[in-house]
Amino acid sequence: MKLSNLKIGEKGTIMAFTDLDLSVKLMEMGCLPGEVVEVERFAPLGDPMAIRVAGYQLCLRKSEADVIIIQ
């Protein structure tokens, strides 16, 4: 499942990325395979979204959350 499919409050574990270039950026920000992510909120207009990962809050667009495969 994609990270962008999660609803607010739902958690998932990062399994893989579907985009190599974005994966480097995301991993540098703490989104590593095996990390647990939790969706905290969506911006007022539905995009971007804020997630809790590696002990801090990260925001990213849904199109970027699409490349993160979670379980």
Q: Using the minimum distance from each CB to another protein, give the nearer residue, 9 or 71.
A: 9
Count of residues in the chain: 71
> What tokens appear for 45 in the block?
């207009």
How near is the Cβ of 71 to another protein at its closest, in Å?
A: 18
**Subset of 10-69 contacting another protein (CB under 8 A):** 20-30, 32-33, 40-41, 43-48, 50, 52, 54-61, 63-64
Residue 23 vs residues 17, 35, 55: alpha-carbon distances, Å: 6, 14, 19
How near is the Cβ of 1 to another protein at its closest, in Å?
A: 20
Residue 39 vs residues 5, 42, 57, 64: alpha-carbon distances, Å: 10, 8, 10, 14
- Residues found near another protein in the complex (CB under 8 A): 20-30, 32-33, 40-41, 43-48, 50, 52, 54-61, 63-64
